[in-house]
Amino acid sequence: MWYYLFKYIFMGPALRLMGRPRIEGLENIPKDGAALIASNHMAVVDSFYLPLMVPRRIFFLAKSEYFTEKGLKGRFKKWFFSTSGQIPIDRSGASAAADALLAGKKVLEDGRLLCLYPEGTRSPDGRLYKGKTGLARIALETGTPVIPIAMVGTDRINPPGTVLPRPTRIVVRVGEPLDFSRYEGMAGNRFIERAVTDEIMYALMRLGGQQYVDVYAASLKNAGGGAKAAAPTAPAAKPGDAA
């Protein structure tokens, strides 16, 4: 109940006013049954505008720190993220990847929509970065179709490091589902999982029009990067073509 109150009463009107959002390709999202959404990730508000524009409830995997903070503020954050469809995952332990895999599979087994950000973190500069293979593993193990979705404009309404939103125009572009049934039984093969991931990233690149960078966004952040000259780019080639 709280999910829909937030969506239509508490936050929805303000989000619509600030972002004037529209969605393209909504027919590509099934009205029922499990589906795995792969989205680019440019700002915190991605996780608000995507559920706002899709009628069905969407679940996300979120870091457990959002749910473990102490005090009144911590209890509020836990309640807020729980009611907004976030599922806590401990990303610090050795079993983090396995825990995320299990949590994601459980959502899909229940016939729900699960959204993952294959880049693993927000883009530091608006470009599209190399995808991690966890999403591909879930897709291959469950046989679930992958729906690519490109968020456009969220980096302008909520740039990294800003607090107050900046009114702009948000577009949610939904691509046709990607079918990987040709790889049935090949989950765990790192070459297959990389090929699936690259196909997903290529679809996102075409949908959103972002420039592609063949490095992990987290690696660039950890190295203190950020300048566009610091990372190789492939604006037109399919991700992984040079590998």
Q: State residue 229's pLDDT score.
A: 44
- How far apart CA 66 and CA 74 sit, in angstroms, is 8
- Which residue shows structure tokens 């989000």? 15
- CB-side exposure of 69: number of CA atoms within 13 Å? 14
* Residue 243 lies inside a defined structural domain of this protein: no
* Residue 242 lies inside a defined structural domain of this protein: no
Q: State residue 5's pLDDT score.
A: 80
Q: State residue 98's pLDDT score.
A: 79
Q: State residue 128's pLDDT score.
A: 97
- List the one residue out of 105, 89, 98 whose CA is nearest residue 34: 105
- How far apart CA 20 and CA 14 sit, in angstroms, is 10
* Residue 8 lies inside a defined structural domain of this protein: yes
- How far apart CA 79 and CA 110 sit, in angstroms, is 22
pTM above 0.95, yes or no: no
- The CATH number that applies at residue 77 is 3.40.1130.10
* Residue 93: domain span: 2-230
Point out which residues pair with 66 in neighbouring strands: none
* Residue 200 lies inside a defined structural domain of this protein: yes
- List the one residue out of 26, 31, 28 whose CA is nearest residue 52: 26
CA 4 to chain centre: 20
What distances in angstroms separate CA 43 from CA 33, 49, 202, one per listed residue? 28, 10, 20
Counting the structural domains of the chain, the total is 1
Q: Which range has the worst mean pLDDT, 73-87, 106-120, 168-182?
A: 73-87
Q: State residue 85's pLDDT score.
A: 67
Q: Pick the residue with more confidence: 92 or 147? A: 147
Q: State residue 95's pLDDT score.
A: 64
Average model confidence (pLDDT) for the chain?
85
* Residue 171 lies inside a defined structural domain of this protein: yes
Asked if 45 and 165 count as a contact pair (C-beta separation under 8 A), the reply is yes
- How far apart CA 203 and CA 208 sit, in angstroms, is 9
Predicted confidence (pLDDT) per residue in 26-78, tens digit = 999 999 999 999 999 998 889 889 999 999 999 988 766 666 678 887 777 66
